Copies of this chain bind each other. A is one copy, B any other.
Amino acid sequence: MEEIHFKGRKVLITGGLGFIGSNLARRLVHLGAEVVIVDSLIPQYGGNLFNISDIQDKISINVSDVRDEHSFRNLVQGKDYLFNLAAQTSHLDSMNDPYTDLEINCRAQLSILEACRQYNPTVRVVFTSTRQLYGKPDYLPVDEKHLLRPVDVNGINKMAGEWYHILYNNVYGIRSTALRLTNTYGPGMRVKDTRQTFLGIWIRLLLEGKPFEVWGGEQLRDYTYVDDVVDALLMAAVSEKAAGKIYNLGGDCVISLQGTAKTMVEANGGGEYVVREFPAERKRIDIGDYFSDYKLFQLDLGWTPKVSLLDGLTNTLNFYRKNLEHYL
C-alpha cells in the first residue's frame, strides 16, 4: 500500500537530518519517493549527516533553517508531502532562551504553513507534536480528550505550533495531521546529552562502561521505537480521514524508569545504573507517571506499535556499539 502512495512522489522533510526525520527519509527512499531534506544542522539540535550516510546519494539535502521564510517559499513548491519535524526540543533551552524556542516552534510553523497556503495548498502535511503538551496527567492512560497543561515554554510553543496546523487545515484546507509522540528511541537518536531524551545519555554511558543515573525510578513511562513512529507518519500522510486530526502515539508496554533501566541493561548484556533522587529544581515540573492511550489512532488508521522495548533497545544498542563515535 505504501509503495503505491510514495513511489515517485515528492517529499519534503523538515528536520530531516535528525533522529526521526532521517529514519523516515530512509524508509521513503526505499519506497521510491523523491526526498528533499531540510535541516539547519545547528550543533545543539538533532541533525547529523551520519544519519543519512547510507542514503546520501538518493536524497537531496538543503541546509536551511525553518526560521528562514524565504527559502521555504521555494522549498514547499511542487511537493506532495511535507513531514514537518524540525523543532527545538530541549526543555532547559526553552526556559533559558524562550525567544529562540518561540521563533522555531511557533513563528516558523506559521511561516511554513503560510508558504504552503500561498505556494502549495494541496500539499499533505504531517506535524510531529508531543505528549509534553498534556503536562501532569489527571488520569491514565492519557487520551486526546485530556486537557493540555504544558509545563515549560517548549510545551506552550509546540501547542501553538500544533494548532496552527489544525487551523490551516480547517480554514484554508491545507490537509494536516498532528501526531503527539511519546518517548521515541532508536538508531539515530541524540546520545551525546539529554537534549532529546534521557534514554540517549543512558545508552552512551552504558556503551562507555559507565553507570547511568535514573532519577526517581518509580515513574511509569511508555516508549515508541522509531520504526513504529515512521509507520505512523506514513499512515497519517496517506489517510484522508486523518486530515485535521490530532492523534496520540504510544508504546507496546508501560514500564517504570527502573524497569526501563533493567531492560536496557538486559538488552546490553550487562551494565550498571544508580538511582538518584529527583533534583529539586526539576521536581517543580515533574509530571509523575505518564503513558498514552493511542486507541483513537489504532481505530482510525489501524496503527499498532510492533517493536517491543527489549527488541528496540537491543537494536539501538547494536547500532551505537558500531557507530557511537559519530554521535559524540
**A→B interface (CB under 8 Å):** 95, 98-99, 102, 106-107, 110-111, 114, 145, 147-153, 156-157, 159-160, 163-164, 166-167, 170-171, 284-285
Contacts and interface: CB of A to CB of B under 8 A. Distances in A.
Given A102-B106, A110-B99, A170-B284, A156 B163 contact: yes
A170 B145 contact: no
Given A149-B166, A156-B163, 10 more contacts: A99-B110, A99-B111, A102-B110, A145-B147, A147-B148, A148-B148, A156-B164, A156-B167, A160-B160, A170-B284
Please state the number of chain copies in the assembly. Answer: 2
B171 A150 contact: no
From DSSP, what is the main secondary structure of chain A's interface residues? helix
Contacts of A160: 106, 156-157, 159-160
A107 B110 CA distance: 14
A221 B192 CA distance: 54
A248 to B, nearest CB: 14
B151 A167 contact: yes
A150 B170 contact: no
Contacts of A152: 167, 171
A284 B114 CA distance: 19
A153 B149 CA distance: 19
A33 to B, nearest CB: 31
9 tightest Cβ-Cβ pairs between the two chains A and B: A160-B160, A156-B163, A156-B160, A98-B110, A150-B163, A102-B107, A106-B106, A171-B284, A156-B164
